[in-house]
Amino acid sequence: MDELAFHRWLRSEWPDKPGMLGIGDDAAALCCGPVTVVCTDSVAEGTHFVSGTDPVLIGRKAVARNLSDLAAMGAEPLGALVALILPRACPDALPQKIMRGCRQELEKTGADIVGGDTTTHEGGIVVNVTLLGRPMGERVIRRDGARPGDVLAVTGALGGSGQGRHLAIAPRLAAARELVQLGPPSAMMDVSDGLLLDLQRLVDASHCGFELDAALIPVHADAVALPGDPLERALSDGEDFELIVALPAERWAHLEGAWSRTIPLTRIGSVTTTGQRILRAGAAWWPGSTGHVHR
């Protein structure tokens, strides 16, 4: 399938919707409201998935990573731009399957694909997604708003995502929506490179520190099933795509009692004035790995 034929297929699959000029022109046009939230992320063969991975799962992962970023900002998706960089000799069905995977993930939210780009090269598959969104509440939730005394909490459980969850990401949009409705967090971000590394980014942006209680950190069963220390995996494995939340201590009791999501929200520590400390069995402790650092 040449590029022109693929574009014709795209236009037949993604017609315009009310308030949206989608695929077919040089740019898309959306009614976004007074504040637009934008994020972009890529997945690349050999880094985020291995050769031979189901193309539908590749598309779903590319979108889900971006949906997780919107959730961390307390934002709802409006539409997506998808750019495909494909091997020159790829089969005709490959881009269609990737796009269908992208659509499957987006349709869960009510949003859809509004445009993008395609090209080929001598390398492997790369999918870039740009998402446009709007705040769930009156403002976006940033990572620089944590204050000393805030409670630190996480959604879900952590570690061992490479057992398959890295291809079945569940963006925490519903959890973010409830957090915003119950009183916006002081700060929030998602766990993409490991709980400890991403928490360090949050407190660095907020000019604070943290103290974690190792006994409270929710460890996923996938981490327990793997060799090594499950706690270290929960702190550093990455690609969990849960939410780290900081919120005032006085709000925690109300939030804990009012929480209605099936996904748990667990208190793991607190924001401090300075320093970074983990207490394990009553003593200061630090893991050998703090997460994935991009080079």
Domain boundaries defined on the chain: 3-135, 151-285
Per-residue pLDDT band at 13 (split at 50, 70, 90): confident
User: How far apart (Å, rounded) are the C-alpha atoms in residues 267 and 132?
Assistant: 31
From the number of C-beta atoms within 10 Å of its C-beta (0-12, 13-18, 19+), residue 21 rates as middle
- In the predicted model, what is the mean pLDDT of residues 163-181? 96
Task: Name the amino acid, one letter, at 166.
Answer: H
Per-residue pLDDT band at 295 (split at 50, 70, 90): very low
Q: What is the pLDDT of residue 23?
A: 72
Torsion region of 293: left, alpha or beta (phi above 0 gives left; psi -120 to 50 gives alpha):
beta
Helices (H), 207-248: 221-224, 230-236
Per-residue pLDDT band at 25 (split at 50, 70, 90): low
Secondary structure tally for the chain: helices H, strands E: 8, 13
User: How far apart (Å, rounded) are the C-alpha atoms in residues 295 and 207?
Assistant: 25
Task: Name the amino acid, one letter, at 239.
Answer: E
Q: What is the pLDDT of residue 204?
A: 93
Cα–Cα separations (whole angstroms), residue 202 to 103, 190, 267, 292: 31, 10, 16, 15
User: For the chain, what is the mean pLDDT?
Assistant: 92
Structure tokens belonging to residue 236 = 């550093």
User: How far apart (Å, rounded) are the C-alpha atoms in residues 2 and 4?
Assistant: 6
Q: What is the pLDDT of residue 11?
A: 79
Q: Please give the CATH architecture assigned to the domain spanning 3-135.
A: 2-Layer Sandwich (3.30)
pLDDT > 90 in the chain, percent: 80
Per-residue pLDDT band at 294 (split at 50, 70, 90): low
Structure tokens belonging to residue 129 = 């997604």
Helix pair 173-181, 55-72: axis angle to 10 deg: 10
Q: What is the pLDDT of residue 65?
A: 96
Looking at the domain covering 151-285, what would its CATH class be? alpha beta
User: How far apart (Å, rounded) are the C-alpha atoms in residues 269 and 149?
Assistant: 10
Q: What element of type H or E holds 175?
A: helix 173-181
Q: What is the pLDDT of residue 14?
A: 78
